[in-house]
Amino acid sequence: MVIFLILLNVVFFLATVISGGFSLPILLSLGAKYGPLIVSGEWQRLLLCIFLHGSLWHLFFNMYALFNLGRLAEGVYGAKKFFIIYIITGLCGSLLSLGVNYSRVGVGASGAIFGLAGALFASGLKYRNTSLNRMAMSLLPFILINLVIGFVTPVVDNGAHVGGLLSGMLMGYLVSPGESWLTWKKKVEEVLQWVMIVFIAVSVVTFFIPNVFSGRSSLDTVITFHNQMQSFINSTRAGIPPAIDRVDSIQPPDREARTLKNKLLEYLTNGGRTTGSIQEIEDDFLQWRSKMLKKYEGLIYETDS
């Protein structure tokens, strides 16, 4: 299961590289954590962000930690429990990060990795005078040093680290090491494992297939549409309307933008002889713009023209 998770991270990394690199718009388009977009309906980001990374080194260090801690955790809890702990603590890390770093973009597996460390540490405290307790104590420097680094390094999302660690400690206290003997516990673990797998699949499908998940737009598309539409409205007001094929070629990022584009096309096609006016089109544009500024709060800033 550790290798499966590493491969999943590598797949997302390759998708990032193929998409053009590690810029903010690309990471956002692939599911980076960002508060305003999550509360607007893109819940999948809470999960997808734990498989994304901001650079090769970011991926390398996280996968190195996952390989080492993951093998320990899988050996202690078994594949099913390990997988459940990883996904749940990764989500908990994203949720706390959402609360404390609402307007910051976040990516990385470190929240889930801290979750594994927290689970092993709590299990070690629970089962004293065992090898698990000695292993837990050996993890304490790793936990403390990385928390301190997170607090003194602004770029590090320590909200995800703390969220993963605390939820991991809770799960480590509740989940017993080794394979479960009771039949009902085995069934519960199997069901939870499949729930996690289905959740990942649903998150990927509903985020990346536009026909299933509508209304999502990339930051680049929003900015490009805004700039082009603003230019077209200004030139029309100045008595120099743009060519219809130029307006028709712009890419609307959502349904409201598409309606706005069609209104301008209708206005230009009929030479201004429509029930609407350029002022009404501009008012609709400013309303749409206001929504985008709120949705991408902290990433798009309103500036004086």
CB burial of 92-113 (b: ≥16 within 10 Å; e: otherwise) equals bbbbbbbeebbebbbbbbbbbb
Catalytic residue (choose from 94, 97, 161, 167): 161
CA distance 122 to 251: 52
Q: Answer yes or no: 226 catalytic.
A: no
Catalytic residue (choose from 29, 94, 97, 110): 110
Q: Answer yes or no: 58 catalytic.
A: no
Q: Is 293 exposed, middle or buried (0-12, 13-18, 19+ CB in 10 A)?
A: middle
Q: What distances in angstroms separate CA 42 from CA 14, 203, 276, 292, one per listed residue? A: 22, 10, 34, 15
Residues annotated as catalytic are: 110, 161
